């Protein structure tokens, strides 16, 4: 199960010692990460000894899993070159860089777009399967700090040479940019209605590869270039959001980092803040509340005096979500109050960005309910959930499903088992109509909370209704 022998791999041995991982411990971690992606691996301490003492290189996804396993222990990404396995495949490095130079930023983004994206779906192979478990919240530190220091590049005009691609480079115009913006708008609607795993939503990475990448590598003026980078940033953030919704956290992280870099090239500070807010929500969802607070506050700090009231409200709401996950009730309450205040100040005629079209008082109430769920305050959850569910809409189906699950949890924690199951049944019905791993995870959490009542007829019925959803491929 290993390739060529190259002599002792001293780099791998040194990093294992630094991380405090034994040979048996690394083998177990690699096997476990492989199992999470449907891979049957049987490495043991002898296998690891061969990698270290004889420099043998394991096959397939194993080098990436080794880096991910060590990275989890160290709490930071571990590139393959650091463990002496850089020649296995350079792909794990793609998408994590936040270059200072605009030209390098274009290269970093287009390299990510060109990866084998077939693996966004579990079991279909591709690069994302190799990157199993490689999400590391610390990878956001450098992008966030560089964006805070310089949120806008000075010039992005580009005069491409024929040697950079096949034939003459494309002269990009505003009509090209408009097509990308229309694609982003369509994708936002499909994502909200059908989930990030729907085939129409999954066309976004293909659009980035086929449409956006050639434009970014073309020739454009500074004015057109700013617009092009902005449209590409929106699409890239959407690709990240859809990957996040389908459970591909490692892919989402790379898309988010590149989206933030493109937003800097666009000189669009509110859009950069929106990407940071997306990073914050991912960090919070993954259990990194403190880091989620940092990312949300970075978005807020740079947008003071720039973003609209509605935009600032959303950033404060995201901050509240992170505070709640970090169990800081006072800070969460203050952020929610500020978010509501900003929302009340917003007006119909404000120049709100198109990507914020989803945000209304219903969304504020839904996220406030999730904050109080994390803070274990069921009365507040019920109050805000009732407001969030007061106007169900076919436009935001996934959001409606998530709100139903949160409502069910609140009813359960208030001692209302029948009401909890009733809301749970409604949530399962909605979840069955969309393709969203996140919604499925919410349902699984509800069923876990209902385990002490496993013999109750309503619970049995809910479990049976949910079975097809839980058995469906991710």
Query: Domain boundary at 72, 93, 114, which?
Result: 93
Residue 134 inside a domain? The answer is no
Query: Domain boundary at 63, 93, 123, which?
Result: 93
Q: What is the pTM of this model?
A: 0.78
Residue 212 has pLDDT above 50, yes or no: yes
Residue 125 has pLDDT above 50, yes or no: no
Helix axes 269-285, 309-325, angle to 10 degrees: 20
pLDDT band at 337 (very low <50, low <70, confident <90, very high): very high
Instruction: Answer whether 298's CB lies under 8 Å from 147's CB.
Output: yes
Domain containing 61: what range? 10-93
Number of domains in the chain: 2
More confident residue, 2 or 13: 13
Q: What is the pLDDT of residue 206?
A: 84
More confident residue, 57 or 195: 57
Residue 80 has pLDDT above 90, yes or no: no
Query: Domain boundary at 62, 93, 124, which?
Result: 93
Residue 334 inside a domain? The answer is no
Per-residue pLDDT, averaged over 144-164, amounts to 88
Q: What is the pLDDT of residue 166?
A: 45
Q: What is the pLDDT of residue 118?
A: 39
Whole-number Å distance between alpha carbons of 448 and 442:
10
Whole-number Å distance between alpha carbons of 231 and 235:
6
Q: What is the pLDDT of residue 290?
A: 96
List, for residues 365-413, the tens digit of each pLDDT value. 999 999 999 999 999 999 999 888 887 666 778 888 899 999 999 999 9
Lowest mean pLDDT among 20-24, 167-171, 457-461: 167-171
List, for residues 82-107, the tens digit of each pLDDT value. 888 866 554 557 899 999 999 999 99
As a whole number, the mean pLDDT across the chain is 87
CA distances to 118, 333, 452 from 92, rounded to whole Å, are 16, 39, 42
Q: What is the pLDDT of residue 165?
A: 47
Instruction: Answer whether 269's CB lies under 8 Å from 302's CB.
Output: yes
List, for residues 217-251, the tens digit of each pLDDT value. 999 999 999 999 999 999 999 999 998 988 888 88
Residue 448 inside a domain? The answer is yes
Per-residue pLDDT, averaged over 187-194, amounts to 79
More confident residue, 434 or 365: 365
- % of the chain with per-residue pLDDT over 90: 62
Q: What is the pLDDT of residue 432?
A: 85
């Amino acid at each position: 199960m290993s390739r060529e022998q190259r002599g002792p791999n001293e780099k791998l041995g040194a990093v294992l010692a630094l991380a405090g991982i034994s040979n048996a411990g690394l083998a177990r971690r690699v096997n476990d990460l492989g199992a999470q992606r449907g891979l049957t691996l049987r490495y043991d301490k002898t296998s690891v000894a061969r990698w270290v003492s004889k420099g043998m290189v394991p096959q397939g996804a194993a080098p990436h899993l080794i880096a991910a396993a060590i990275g989890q222990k160290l709490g930071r990404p571990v590139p393959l070159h650091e463990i002496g396995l850089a020649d296995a495949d350079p792909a794990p490095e793609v998408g994590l860089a936040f270059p200072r130079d605009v030209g390098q930023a274009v290269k970093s983004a287009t390299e990510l777009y060109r990866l084998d994206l077939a693996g966004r779906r579990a079991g279909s192979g591709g690069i994302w399967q190799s990157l199993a478990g490689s999400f590391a919240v610390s990878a956001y530190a450098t992008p966030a700090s560089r964006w805070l220091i310089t949120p806008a590049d000075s010039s992005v005009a580009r005069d491409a040479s024929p040697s950079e691609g096949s034939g003459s480079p494309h002269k990009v115009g505003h009509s090209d940019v408009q097509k990308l913006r229309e694609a982003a708008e369509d994708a936002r609607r499909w994502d909200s209605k059908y989930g990030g795993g729907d085939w129409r939503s999954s066309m976004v990475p293909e659009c980035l590869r086929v449409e956006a990448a050639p434009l970014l590598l073309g020739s454009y003026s500074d004015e057109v270039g700013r617009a092009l980078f902005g449209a590409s940033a929106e699409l890239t953030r959407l690709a990240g959001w859809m990957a996040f919704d389908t459970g591909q956290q490692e892919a989402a992280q790379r898309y988010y980092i590149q989206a933030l870099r493109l937003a800097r090239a666009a000189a669009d500070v509110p859009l950069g803040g929106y990407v940071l807010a997306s990073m914050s929500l991912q960090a919070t969802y993954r259990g990194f509340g403190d880091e989620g607070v940092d990312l949300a506050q970075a978005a807020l700090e740079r947008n003071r005096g720039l973003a609209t009231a509605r935009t600032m409200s959303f950033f404060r709401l995201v901050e509240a979500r992170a505070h709640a996950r970090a169990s800081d009730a006072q800070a969460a309450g203050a952020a929610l109050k500020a978010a509501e205040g900003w929302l009340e100040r917003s007006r119909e005629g404000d120049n709100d960005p198109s990507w914020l079209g989803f945000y209304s008082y219903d969304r504020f109430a839904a996220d406030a309910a999730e904050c109080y769920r994390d803070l274990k305050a069921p009365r507040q959850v019920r109050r805000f959930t009732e407001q969030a569910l007061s106007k169900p809409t076919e436009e935001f189906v996934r959001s409606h499903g998530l709100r139903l699950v949160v409502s069910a949890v609140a009813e359960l924690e208030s001692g209302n088992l029948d009401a909890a199951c009733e809301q749970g049944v409604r949530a399962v019905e909605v979840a069955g109509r969309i393709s969203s791993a996140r919604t499925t995870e919410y349902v699984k959490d509800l069923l876990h909370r209902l385990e002490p009542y496993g013999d109750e007829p309503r619970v049995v019925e809910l479990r049976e209704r949910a079975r097809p959803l839980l058995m469906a491929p991710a």
